[in-house]
Amino acid sequence: MLANAFAPSATHASEIGWEGGITAVYQDTDDSRADFELTASADLFATLKQQKGEWLLYIEASSSPKSNGVSAFYPTVNGDAGSVLTAGGDGGVQISELNYTFFMGGNRSVMLGLIDPSAWLDRGRIANDENIHFLNGSFVNNSTIAFPDYTLGGVFRFPAENRRPEFTLVITGSDGIADTPDRSYQDLLDLNDDGRGIFLGAGAAWLNERTSWRVGAWLRNDNQGVEGELVDDENNYGVYGVFGWQDGANAINVRAGMANSNVSAADRFLAIAYQRKTNIGLFGIGVADTRIPGTFSGSGNDDALDSEIYFRIPILDNAGHITPSIQYVKSPAVDSADRLSGSSAIVAGVRFHWSF
């Protein structure tokens, strides 16, 4: 069926392109409760360009993370762990994105289909991809934004013009594949299921040679509940901002966000990341602070801390890289997950990535 969908049009010129990568991560920690862990993932992107649009197919696979491994105790330390899981918690293969982009006049575009909402909002130049940038998930996306997983929806993009910024509007379902009970496409298509709603996000961007500014707001109306409370009918919403600067070998990324404290597990967020190119590789260091509101933490508001230092060394004629890293993470007391209560750890690891 997919082969037919990507068949060249009989009336329009078309061009098929593809790219992908394989990533493996080994991590260990000084927390004696957590076992060392080796995870792996693979990504394949295929595009079919046509005269007035483009198809995108994204196939993703991952191994099964250990039930008692590092990422089970400290989920943020490996943003690539368990990216595809079955309902039973095993790794697998899935079609994560399948969509079509309509190119309209004035460089405007509309994308419809199975999409990744986090790819279009809260973006950064040096802290946006756990395969090539920081491995810690707190440097991939803002923790306060309640993004759904891969889900059905649309992305509307309007280019910058004169003093008007670039504008992006994302409208999707509130539940993605990983958010459904059976992690299945059948569940994803059950739009009448109780508790379903929409995710709405809007962002504006001012992109310059050295600096970039992004601001936005988002809303989920699927009535998220609060742990230990009777509140079950509030919407979640928030605002965010991203600042980027780069000059020669140096680059900085700053992220900040706020969300509804009544229903959000993270209601304040601030992250700062720095990257420097050297003759032998790429150096990165970052620190992120996430506030857990009193409704989720054990005693009043508490903060989670994530920090990471890495050095990315190119190999295989720059087709791949080896990245050793050290992280220090601190998790506050959380009522809904006692195993994370008030714990901290140093996590050392190495990532291998190969692009093709």
Cα distance between residue 294 and residue 264, in whole Å: 11
Q: What is the pLDDT of residues 54-104, one digit of tens each?
A: 999 999 999 999 999 999 999 999 999 999 998 888 999 999 999 999 999
* Range with the poorest average pLDDT among 43-47, 248-252, 262-266, 337-341: 337-341
Q: Quick one: how far is CA 344 from the chain centroid?
A: 23
Whole domain around residue 103: which residue ranges?
15-355
DSSP 57-114: EEEEEE-PPPTTBHHHH-GGG-TTTTSSB-TTS-BEEEEEEEEEEEE-GGG-EEEEEE
* Range with the poorest average pLDDT among 4-8, 52-56, 160-164, 238-242: 4-8
Cα distance between residue 132 and residue 124, in whole Å: 13
At residue 301 the predicted structure's pLDDT band, cuts being 50, 70 and 90, is low
Any idea what the CATH number is for the domain that residue 170 is in? 2.40.160.10
* Residue 209 within any structural domain of the chain: yes
* Residue 10 within any structural domain of the chain: no
Count of the separate structural domains present in the chain: 1
Q: What is the pLDDT of residue 335?
A: 47
Average pLDDT, the chain: 89
Reply yes or no on whether the pLDDT at 336 is more than 80: no
* Residue 142 within any structural domain of the chain: yes
Phi, psi of 165 (to 5 degrees): -75, 170
Whether 113 contacts 98, CB under 8 Å: yes
**How many Cβ atoms from other residues are within 10 Å of residue 233's Cβ?**
9
Q: What is the pTM of this model?
A: 0.88
* Residue 8 within any structural domain of the chain: no
Cα distance between residue 292 and residue 272, in whole Å: 18
* Residue 2 within any structural domain of the chain: no
* Nearest of 280, 279, 305, 301 to residue 292 by alpha carbon: 301
Amino acid at 20: G
* Residue 9 within any structural domain of the chain: no
* Residue 222 within any structural domain of the chain: yes
3-class SS at 5? helix
Reply yes or no on whether the pLDDT at 148 is more than 70: yes
Reply yes or no on whether the pLDDT at 328 is more than 60: yes
Q: Which tokens hold the place of 124?
A: 């950064």
The neighbouring-strand residues paired with 14 are none
Burial 234-266 (b: 16+ CB within 10 A, else e): bebbbebbbbbbbeeeebbbbbbbbbbbbbbbb
Give me the percent of the chain exceeding a pLDDT of 70: 88
30 CB-near residues (< 8 Å, 6+ apart): 345, 346
DSSP 144-202: TS---SSEEEEEEEE--BTTBPEEEEEEEES--GGGSTT-SHHHHH-TTSTT--EEEEE
Higher per-residue confidence, 175 vs 14: 175
At residue 1 the predicted structure's pLDDT band, cuts being 50, 70 and 90, is very low
Q: How far apart are the first and last CA of the chain?
A: 25
Which of left, alpha, beta for 305 (phi over 0: left; psi -120 to 50: alpha)? beta
Residues in the chain: 356
What is the 8-class DSSP label of residue 122? Answer: S
* Residue 1 within any structural domain of the chain: no
